[in-house]
Amino acid sequence: MALESLRLRRDVEKEQIKEEPAVLSLSAYIDRCYTEAKSAKADITERLLRCERQRRGEYDPDKLALIRQTGGSDIYMMLTDIKCRAAESWIKDVLLSGTGSSWSLQPTAEPSLPSEMREGIIETVVMEADAVSQQGMAIDPRAINARMKELYDTVTKRMNELAKNAAMNMERRMLDKLTDARWSETMSEVVYDFVTFPSCVIKGPVIKQRRQMRWTKGWKPEVFEDISESFERVSPYDCFPSPNAVTPQDGYFIQRHQLTRASLSKLIGVPGYNDDAIRAALEQYGRGGLRNMEQGDSERHLLEGRNNTLIGTEIIEAVEFWGSASGYMLREWGMKNVEDHVEYEVNCWKVGSHTIKAIKNPDPLGRRPYSKAAWENIPGAFWGMALPEIMRDTQVICNGAARALSNNMGIASGPQVEVSVDRLPDGENLTSMYPWKIWQTTSDRTGGGQPAVRFFQPNMNAETLMNVLQYFQKVADEVTGVPNYVYGSSNVSGAGRTASGLSMLMENAAKGIKQAILSLDKATSEMLTRFYDHLMIYDDDVSIKGDMQIVASGIVGTLLKETQQQRRNEFMQLTANPFDMQIIGPAGRAELLRETAKSLNIDVDKIVPKPDEILMAQRAQQEATAAAAEQAQPQPPQQPQPPMLQ
């Protein structure tokens, strides 16, 4: 049924357009916005390149030119990459761990009663009051209020139970669809951007058409088209927010795509696309491709290991636009049911001069399917501060110390030679020196008796330079909040030498990284909320419907999951006594076991009985105990019976 709903959405979006070629007005408006966004992002693009160079261990071009002018070593300490990989692994260990999802779906604290239920409660109380009145009894207003409260509490309790079941069903449905959409792979790429660039962007849910294969009778393959939800990472190089935007929901938002002829042809028949415009774009650009090289593209491709990006004609670039457009432009393009002087939130795709898609934003609240996060947010700015930018000064000093150390070791590795060249015979090779070499010289014309060749040993400053390097490596721990013991470094002193001390240090380090991960929490919550709303609208399964909210604080909450598990085990040991069991009872003990089993990724239903099963077992045990006690009571003596007469 969910597939039928998606097909219905596709048909509704198709009705908004006519199969006509695109005209200039809407296309020119998108081009103007794209030009403004590219101009405003010029400085940001250079920041993106600097961050990626820093993580890849490459100097900026101007710095590399100065180093080569002075000669010597061009060594680059990979301190930034170490910190980024440590932070990335730390976040992935929590976000993509196999012990459960880092978010949950919970019903609202106070579910609102539908109006028909409220009216039903009132009608029930009125009917009961009428029945009492007909019997000639007086009606107490306090009794009426108490009865209404009793019915309200009963209905609310039942609704809470239904809401919890619906939340569990919805969470399972979302997890299943996220798995099909390769959510883990997408988030892994997003986390890489999160620790490397000033901002990362995640897109979803978006509807895509995929070819899939299934096995039919006789194990014969059957290929079919499937319409499903998907999620994707948007490269910071390819997203262009509005110049004054703070989030992707402000102004307009543009994403650049690189399509192939095959991927562009697959858009034919996808919801909202203009098939004739796609065919026209394929006819014009399908043979020679369409490539618009923007600022930084060449260096970006080199950093990403794509050295031959200008070779080949299979790439066709497209621009995706999310923002407002006037009804006049949309009507001129071919959209129906629009007014000329009204601004509509739309989604448009443009390939060269062809606008292949223009539909109204399908989200009921007009939200765009983008969320962004930054390692350190800057209020009022779209782009934050990246981890490489935060530690750039320490990286520069460590590089300088490493270069000086390398150069000093090279210079001080052997003696330096001072030669009076005017006292050497013709043809003497000054650049060749080896053991037992004989230096032929002439006499000192000055009469001073000075030697023609002098040897001296340069000072070795390795210890001082090593101290500088190690000091600023420790400074990098404090600046980034990612200490070296997080990624298994053995150079830990003090409290870190014991298990409990290291746990305490890890807890303190987690406090430093929480602020950064909260931004990723927020972006994940926004995306999952849009996904939840999408399923509420287009999924026909009634068992997953309910008033719920996404709780994505699991990322932060599970940073110290090992410590929490240890505390839970200690609590279970403390309460494992007869006195506490009288307080918490078997049901409370079962809840503790249930939570512990969940954290260990164990099937709870196979280990811990359900609450109603525990209650039935208690009743059965009480009945058995009562029956045994009754049988154990002494019986009254029986009267002797007279013998039978013979």
pLDDT tens across 30-63, in order?
999 999 999 999 999 999 999 999 999 999 988 9
Whether 245 is in a domain gets the answer yes
Report the distance separating Cα 411 and Cα 402, nearest Å: 14
Whether 362 is in a domain gets the answer yes
Compute CA 610 distance to the chain's CA centroid, rounded to the nearest angstrom: 34
Average confidence (pLDDT) over 374-390:
93
Where is the domain boundary, 329, 348, 373? 373
Report the distance separating Cα 231 and Cα 236, nearest Å: 16
pLDDT tens across 497-523, in order?
443 443 444 455 556 677 777 888 889
Whether 140 is in a domain gets the answer no
Residue with tokens 């994403």: 255
Whether 516 is in a domain gets the answer no
Please enumerate, as own/partner, the contacts of 442-451 that have beta carbons within 8 Å and a separation of 24 or more. Answer: 450/420
Classified as helix, coil or strand, 116 is: helix
pLDDT tens across 579-624, in order?
777 777 777 777 777 777 766 666 667 777 777 777 777 777 777 7
Whether 507 is in a domain gets the answer no
Q: Cβ distance 200 to 372 under 8 Å? A: yes
SS (H, E, C) 614-638: HHHHHHHHHHHHHHHHHHHCCCCCC
Whether 67 is in a domain gets the answer no
The DSSP output letter for 237 is G
Whether 192 is in a domain gets the answer no
Q: What pLDDT does 314 receive?
A: 75
Task: List, in sequence order, the alpha helices (H) in 41-78.
Answer: 42-56, 61-70
Where is the domain boundary, 332, 347, 373? 373
Average confidence (pLDDT) over 89-97:
75
Confidence category of residue 212, pLDDT binned at 50, 70, 90 = confident
User: Based on the structure, what is the number of domains in the chain?
Assistant: 2
Classified as helix, coil or strand, 239 is: strand
Lowest-confidence segment of 139-153, 293-307, 431-445, 599-613 by average pLDDT: 599-613
Give the domain extent around 273: 2-40+200-373
Confidence category of residue 563, pLDDT binned at 50, 70, 90 = low
End-to-end CA distance of the chain: 88
Whether 403 is in a domain gets the answer no
Where is the domain boundary, 313, 339, 373? 373
Whole-model pTM: value is 0.74
Residue with tokens 């340069």: 458
Report the distance separating Cα 481 and Cα 474, nearest Å: 11
